[in-house]
Amino acid sequence: MSVPQEVAYEGGRGVKIRVITPSTMREKVARSIEQYSAAARSDTQLSADVLDKGPESVDSVYDEAMAAADTVKKIEAAEQEGIQAVISNCMLDPGVLPAREKVFMPVLGPAESSMHVAAMLADRFSVVTILDALIPAFENHALKLGLFDQLASVRAVSMRGADLDDQERLQKAIEELAAKAVEEDGAHIIVLGCTAMRGLAMDVEEGLRKRGITGVPVIDPALLSLKLAEAFVDMGLSHSKLTYPEPPQQEIIGF
Amino acid sequence: MSVPQEVAYEGGRGVKIRVITPSTMREKVARSIEQYSAAARSDTQLSADVLDKGPESVDSVYDEAMAAADTVKKIEAAEQEGIQAVISNCMLDPGVLPAREKVFMPVLGPAESSMHVAAMLADRFSVVTILDALIPAFENHALKLGLFDQLASVRAVSMRGADLDDQERLQKAIEELAAKAVEEDGAHIIVLGCTAMRGLAMDVEEGLRKRGITGVPVIDPALLSLKLAEAFVDMGLSHSKLTYPEPPQQEIIGF
Amino acid sequence: MSVPQEVAYEGGRGVKIRVITPSTMREKVARSIEQYSAAARSDTQLSADVLDKGPESVDSVYDEAMAAADTVKKIEAAEQEGIQAVISNCMLDPGVLPAREKVFMPVLGPAESSMHVAAMLADRFSVVTILDALIPAFENHALKLGLFDQLASVRAVSMRGADLDDQERLQKAIEELAAKAVEEDGAHIIVLGCTAMRGLAMDVEEGLRKRGITGVPVIDPALLSLKLAEAFVDMGLSHSKLTYPEPPQQEIIGF
Amino acid sequence: MSVPQEVAYEGGRGVKIRVITPSTMREKVARSIEQYSAAARSDTQLSADVLDKGPESVDSVYDEAMAAADTVKKIEAAEQEGIQAVISNCMLDPGVLPAREKVFMPVLGPAESSMHVAAMLADRFSVVTILDALIPAFENHALKLGLFDQLASVRAVSMRGADLDDQERLQKAIEELAAKAVEEDGAHIIVLGCTAMRGLAMDVEEGLRKRGITGVPVIDPALLSLKLAEAFVDMGLSHSKLTYPEPPQQEIIGF
Amino acid sequence: MSVPQEVAYEGGRGVKIRVITPSTMREKVARSIEQYSAAARSDTQLSADVLDKGPESVDSVYDEAMAAADTVKKIEAAEQEGIQAVISNCMLDPGVLPAREKVFMPVLGPAESSMHVAAMLADRFSVVTILDALIPAFENHALKLGLFDQLASVRAVSMRGADLDDQERLQKAIEELAAKAVEEDGAHIIVLGCTAMRGLAMDVEEGLRKRGITGVPVIDPALLSLKLAEAFVDMGLSHSKLTYPEPPQQEIIGF
Amino acid sequence: MSVPQEVAYEGGRGVKIRVITPSTMREKVARSIEQYSAAARSDTQLSADVLDKGPESVDSVYDEAMAAADTVKKIEAAEQEGIQAVISNCMLDPGVLPAREKVFMPVLGPAESSMHVAAMLADRFSVVTILDALIPAFENHALKLGLFDQLASVRAVSMRGADLDDQERLQKAIEELAAKAVEEDGAHIIVLGCTAMRGLAMDVEEGLRKRGITGVPVIDPALLSLKLAEAFVDMGLSHSKLTYPEPPQQEIIGF
């Protein structure tokens, strides 16, 4: 098992939170530390890890199935190290539900966190994501959370590869769809549909304002997961073991 | 309009949060500061207020209607003072929805906050409250939030007055009902159904464990509201003005 | 407490019904008597009242919160006078639910009454109201009634002030939106979304027919509430005190 | 086609309402006139009819299918005679939906009417009916009306034949089940589940009170249908022809 | 009672399935045998029948009510003859639910069968049917099955009479609407909405592919019902008698 | 990749179906062939396989996550070999949804298949499974399928290891819970909740009859999946590629 490569803050009594990106690309360790540090409290000890086995990125339910097992193993390892909360750094929330059966600390999924908070702050939310192929996955996620009636729409920018690195172009594309979600689909709040849409929430909100769409919050699901993780650790709160019961012990080959 | 009487923390760049208890009893100002301080971050500036007009305590939907108008006015005043988030300190969330139409800062309701977080952490939650007469109100609250299917039950300890001051007796009564909610109603997580059940969440959780019911979290809705308020201010996140549109200007007699 | 200013019919054994308009404008007493008399049975004794405290008109959820307390007090007073049923004369049904906790006679809300009857007579209904800002309020009302799936849409004429007095222009605007509700939103029946759209139901129905849209009923929620009030008094039927339990006695300051 | 055999009231401008009992037993004509007259307004012209083809009584979904065709034909005939509203006098609402496609006047079903009004007056209703075999039928009726979540339970007295004529025994049996519906199933209002439970609503309500269950209304669905029929005719209101479109013309053999 | 006029296969141990077309046109006996034979297993003994009493074709809920009674009687007769499963050959599933109360063998409805299988194979389905007037009927069918949220839309080709015999024109019209259902309504799978749309499923699927819409299955509900009937007989599986309880014995006049 | 070890039937034009048991125990290959052969048509070519990587048996959502990836890979391999339909031989349906993104043939899950068919044949179903810890998983499965309202209950026999090999004892335990599901939870049909409860459906149904519970079908989900697989291949029917879109190509490490 790989050792997480960076620890951002080393404060005294701080909350120890691990971000696990379900990807085999090791450069994502540093990138996720950088991303989450933007919103971490000064007393939060942030660390990060990626997968040894699985896809480069999770772009489908198929990829999510390929990433889930090692994500779960990384979450188990984190708890054994003394980590107090884990975030699965992908909007399909890979491994979150199965890991909750094995561990006792909070395991946060960006989609679950942001959809519930969106439903607190508005009657209907839309998700703006990267790929069309993920639209059914988000619809089913809202259904499982009991929030399908509050989901106005899922829209995808349909961009890939190098295009995604062009932050300005990505932001414009998100803005365009967020505006359509409000004007055509009845959305009252926007959830960014990919944890890699880093740092764009405020800019998209500002962009909507310039188009005359004011008062529509934009949620960054990665950062929201971090804030909830900090709050849950503060409160000693975690998932129910009746919903996520301890699995029976048995040998598992290959993991 | 009364001036809030206490300010707990005076840190530098801190988050300014106001707790408004929908009651005309001024001693609740100090009591709520004390209650919320237990969970506040060190950089949170906590202040509190009560009502000039309304009931002594909100024990019915009728009382909630009598408390709502002045609660809303107090929330408006708080925003004008520079407060960054407000908590309506009662499990019927009095004034939360109408106030959101007037103000831009986050307005937190303990019921809304705790029911959504309960739904994140477990498949089904029960609320344990004070009075039987409030059971329909909580059921309707869950319905409005779209979380009725996740509500296992609402149970009431049926205690009043002096009995409530006997913390040990109150805790035992809550424990008893929480155990029934798990064993008979299928609850996987418990939400304390009154913001005055202060500081009991951990004790009830421990009490359940002693009865052999392990892994059932107990949520303190007051403290959870505070943690969410801190997180929302950190993230610059608030409610949608499409769901809560600005009301037209007009004279309102008597307020 | 003001004395209701007009009594329409003084028949012998008649049903005594009070219309309370949640507004501080006293001219609405006479206007509501005139409006409701059009549909009252010959043996119905109709009286009316307005508020001492509250907004001039209820144009938002905020206004509804400001109007609710005094509406409830007026309903309590009506029962003490011997009134047998009350109608809260506004499509946000202000005060209806809290008042039911205090009184035993039927308390009718135009929105509740008309949405349920619309659902009896058609698969899907649309509401055509005055202000865009009220759209979320009507959607949430349908949700609370369990009728959200039958709500095709809410549309608003976006007219204010003097424009509303131009009955012909108002009727045309309603017709236009009712036609769109049928053709674009799938509505099968139309509910007028403001109790001040008096006497327009038949005209709008006729207007739709002239546009080739036949067989689409238009419900006047004010008059429907009156007919249900008469029927409930005839049958000795009222709300359940298990859903609307008696609130505990306590002093309420300011009311 | 048989001529309806009795007309109760012959007032001048009165509302003409026909009660059609889906049964081939002609004595039910007089019995239904007597039953409905108890609640009719003085200006209501009440007439009644039964079936030429069909079962003696509707005690199953099978019977309902056998009764529906002739009930529909009787409703068509009533409209041609100048009748202004029809009630299908059975809690399975036989023929109501198909007849609405052919006629323009209101066609009332006791189950549809009473379930919607029960949902207006309370959070949850129970139906107390005659036969266990009808329980799934009532559950499915509530489902079709979109009111399944408000249905607390359906309970059956399991009485047949001569036992039903023993009004006192029937009333006691209903009371017993109504009490269980409140205490065990969470009902807040009771709907009598058979139009032949005539005149028992008030007595059952009184019986519940004597058992200490106060504030639980009991709805007589037959009489409620009549009151709604009167109200709809007064208002010129009927079902939507978009939900119940005109069927294409064609020969139908045997009817 | 008429004798079914054709028996397609006379294999030894085969499954005996009867197709009952709710129509009085006897030429539909041969036509339905031909239609269903296309998909029958070699060991399936297929027979067919039509009605003695009822409409020529079921084009409305009104017609369905006129067809139901004799369809039920034909199903009862089939079971007495030793038939092992029956299909009601019409997309309104006439007689299916009431017949299940009387018989023990499986009774299949094309709409029920195809809507459930569509929901297995895709998130959302659309129905493409013949007449606009049937749209509410299909929506209500999905509602009764608990599948309303999975219904993307119902669309109708609005063709009648001779036009329907022009298979090529019919297919083009279905294709057109199926494409719109996918592109505008969000359908992921198409259900043909009339059992007379025989043999068109594969052609419509191919037609969609030529328009660039690939991977959208098209379900022939008649043939699917047959395959389920064969499977249920193989497994000894039929409907629950708790959902469809035996009706009490009584005389039924006219049937 | 392992080669499937047995092929049951080698008929000419037969349907090629592969049963994949999500377990690393190779003896399950022969056992599943034997189990499924009982219900296969004479022209069905049955083959079977197990996993190279994963748990010995799937007894939790955690195990399901550990089994999913290799199950998906086995399904991909099956399609490449020319297999026409695959069954994931476990009631948690491991790998079914992600595999549908990669392959075009039908992929059957026993839970999905049996829950939908149960909903066709009865108003409410209960699942009787092995372990208490799986109850939340089945509830969530029903929720995802949109069938939560039809789920009466999930009950578990709480047996493990050697006890499960005692078929008589297992059958008695299932019978006991099935009876409770009917009598206490309102179930009308029973779904066996483990594909290893082989050959017990008819015996449990008979056992219920002996206890006086007649007319309650018991579904064997494994065999039902096989019958649906045969039917879907016959009809050329498979899942929608709009619900299950092709995942983007990328390297996946470790699989």
pLDDT in tens, A81-119: 999 999 999 999 999 999 999 999 999 999 999 999 999
Q: What is the pLDDT of residue B166?
A: 87
Question: Which of E150, E230, E239 is the closest to F121 by Cβ?
Answer: E239
Q: What is the mean pLDDT of residues E194-211?
A: 93
Q: Residue A133's CB: how many other CB atoms inside 10 A? A: 22
Touch D-E: 3+ C-beta pairs under 8 A: yes
The answer to whether F136 contacts B123, with C-beta atoms less than 8 Å apart, is yes
Touch B-F: 3+ C-beta pairs under 8 A: yes
Using N-to-C axis directions, what is the helix angle for F61-81 and F135-144, rounded to 10°?
Answer: 50
pLDDT in tens, F203-243: 999 999 999 999 999 999 999 999 999 999 999 999 999 99
The answer to whether F62 contacts A144, with C-beta atoms less than 8 Å apart, is no
Alpha carbon D145 to its chain centroid, in Å, reads 15
Q: Which residues on chain D are in Cβ contact (under 8 Å) with F149?
A: 148
The answer to whether C136 contacts A123, with C-beta atoms less than 8 Å apart, is yes
Q: Residue B37's CB: how many other CB atoms inside 10 A? A: 16
Residue B241 has pLDDT above 50, yes or no: yes
Q: Which residues on chain B are in Cβ contact (under 8 Å) with D123?
A: 136, 139-140
| Residue pair B117/B91 in contact by the 8 Å Cβ criterion | no
The answer to whether A240 contacts B223, with C-beta atoms less than 8 Å apart, is no
Q: What is the pLDDT of residue F8?
A: 42
Å from A151 to nearest chain C CA?
A: 14
| Residue pair D60/E245 in contact by the 8 Å Cβ criterion | yes
DSSP code of residue F150: G
pLDDT in tens, C35-47: 999 889 988 999 9
Report the alpha-carbon distance of residue C177 to residue E221 in Å, rounded.
Answer: 38
pLDDT in tens, A177-218: 999 999 999 999 999 999 888 889 999 999 999 999 999 999
Residue E99 has pLDDT above 70, yes or no: yes
- Confidence bin at A10 (pLDDT 50/70/90): very low
Residue F165 has pLDDT above 90, yes or no: no
Å from E215 to nearest chain A CA?
A: 13
Q: What is the mean pLDDT of residues B101-124?
A: 98
The 10 Å CB-count burial string (b at 16+, else e) for E124-148 is bbbbbbbbebbbbbbbbbbbbbbbb
Which residue in A52, A62, A102 has the most chain F C-beta atoms within 10 A of its own C-beta, making it the best mutation to test that interface? A62
Q: Which residues on chain D are in Cβ contact (under 8 Å) with E51?
A: 253
Q: Coil, strand, or helix at residue E248?
A: coil
What element of type H or E holds E119?
helix E110-121
The answer to whether D139 contacts F149, with C-beta atoms less than 8 Å apart, is no
Using N-to-C axis directions, what is the helix angle for D110-121 and C110-121, rounded to 10°?
Answer: 160
pLDDT in tens, E125-169: 999 999 999 999 999 999 999 999 999 999 999 987 667 788 899
Q: What is the mean pLDDT of residues F93-121?
A: 98
Of C124, C134, C92, which Cα lies nearest the Cα of C110? C92
Q: Which residues on chain C are in Cβ contact (under 8 Å) with D41?
A: 41, 234
| Residue pair E125/E188 in contact by the 8 Å Cβ criterion | yes
Q: What is the pLDDT of residue A75?
A: 98
Q: What is the mean pLDDT of residues B150-156?
A: 97
Mean pLDDT of chain C, nearest integer: 92
User: What would the two tokens of residue A4 be?
Assistant: 């997480």
Report the neighbours of C using a cutoff of 3 or more CB pairs below 8 angstroms: A, B, D, E
Report the neighbours of F using a cutoff of 3 or more CB pairs below 8 angstroms: A, B, D, E
Report the neighbours of B using a cutoff of 3 or more CB pairs below 8 angstroms: A, C, D, F
For C154, which residue in chain A has the nearest alpha carbon? A186
Q: What is the pLDDT of residue E4?
A: 52
Q: Which residues on chain F are in Cβ contact (under 8 Å) with D136?
A: 123, 188
Mean pLDDT of chain B, nearest integer: 92
pLDDT in tens, D91-107: 999 999 999 999 999 99
Question: Which of F52, F53, F63 is the closest to A247 by Cβ?
Answer: F63
pLDDT in tens, B200-240: 999 999 999 999 999 999 999 999 999 999 999 999 999 99
Q: What is the pLDDT of residue B8?
A: 42
Give the predicted TM-score (pTM) of the model: 0.94
Q: What is the pLDDT of residue E50?
A: 97
The answer to whether A242 contacts B112, with C-beta atoms less than 8 Å apart, is no
Question: Which of F215, F239, F240 is the closest to E241 by Cβ?
Answer: F215
Q: What is the pLDDT of residue A233?
A: 96
Percent of chain D with pLDDT over 90: 85
Residue positions counted in chain D = 255
Q: What is the pLDDT of residue F56?
A: 94
Q: Which residues on chain D are in Cβ contact (under 8 Å) with C113?
A: 120
Å from B116 to nearest chain F CA?
A: 18
Q: What is the pLDDT of residue F3?
A: 46
Å from A130 to nearest chain F CA?
A: 12
Higher pLDDT, B50 or F255: B50
- Confidence bin at E38 (pLDDT 50/70/90): confident
pLDDT in tens, A129-157: 999 999 999 999 999 999 999 999 999 99
Residue C166 has pLDDT above 90, yes or no: no
Q: What is the pLDDT of residue C215?
A: 97
Of B53, B50, B138, B54, which Cα lies nearest the Cα of B91? B138
Q: What is the pLDDT of residue F4?
A: 52
Q: What is the mean pLDDT of residues C207-225?
A: 97
Q: Which residues on chain F are in Cβ contact (under 8 Å) with E115?
A: none
Residue B4 has pLDDT above 60, yes or no: no
Percent of chain B with pLDDT over 70: 94
pLDDT in tens, D185-221: 999 999 999 988 888 999 999 999 999 999 999 999 9
Which residues is C188 bridged to in the sheet? Answer: none
Residue A2 has pLDDT above 80, yes or no: no
Q: What is the mean pLDDT of residues C76-84?
A: 97
Q: Which residues on chain B are in Cβ contact (under 8 Å) with C249?
A: none
Q: What is the pLDDT of residue E12?
A: 39
Q: What is the pLDDT of residue E3?
A: 47
Q: Which residues on chain A are in Cβ contact (under 8 Å) with E149?
A: 148
Q: What is the pLDDT of residue A38?
A: 86
Q: What is the pLDDT of residue B96?
A: 98
Q: What is the mean pLDDT of residues F65-89?
A: 98
pLDDT in tens, A40-75: 998 899 999 999 999 999 999 999 999 999 999 999
pLDDT in tens, B162-207: 677 888 999 999 999 999 999 999 999 999 999 888 889 999 999 9
- Confidence bin at B129 (pLDDT 50/70/90): very high
Report the alpha-carbon distance of residue E151 to residue E187 in Å, rounded.
Answer: 8
Q: Which residues on chain E are in Cβ contact (under 8 Å) with D53?
A: 253-255
Amino acid (1-letter code) at residue A16: K
The angle subtended at Cα D132 by Cα D129 and Cα D133, nearest 5°, is 110
Most confident of D159-163, E5-9, E214-218: E214-218
Chain A residues with at least one Cβ partner in C under 8 Å = 123, 149, 188
- Confidence bin at F255 (pLDDT 50/70/90): confident
User: What would the two tokens of residue F41 be?
Assistant: 């048509």
Report the alpha-carbon distance of residue F187 to residue B25 in Å, rounded.
Answer: 52
Q: What is the pLDDT of residue E198?
A: 83
Q: What is the mean pLDDT of residues E68-86?
A: 97
The answer to whether C140 contacts A149, with C-beta atoms less than 8 Å apart, is no
- Confidence bin at D87 (pLDDT 50/70/90): very high
A to B CB pairs, distance under 8 Å: 120
| Residue pair E120/D228 in contact by the 8 Å Cβ criterion | no
Which residue in B52, B58, B61, B251 has the most chain C C-beta atoms within 10 A of its own C-beta, making it the best mutation to test that interface? B61
Q: What is the mean pLDDT of residues A12-21?
A: 85
DSSP code of residue B160: -
The answer to whether F139 contacts B149, with C-beta atoms less than 8 Å apart, is no
For B102, which residue in chain C has the nearest alpha carbon? C62
Å from C22 to nearest chain B CA?
A: 12
Q: What is the pLDDT of residue E159?
A: 84
Q: What is the pLDDT of residue E160?
A: 75
Q: Which residues on chain D are in Cβ contact (under 8 Å) with C199?
A: none
Percent of chain C with pLDDT over 90: 85
- Confidence bin at D161 (pLDDT 50/70/90): low
Touch F-C: 3+ C-beta pairs under 8 A: no
- Confidence bin at D4 (pLDDT 50/70/90): low
Residue positions counted in chain E = 255
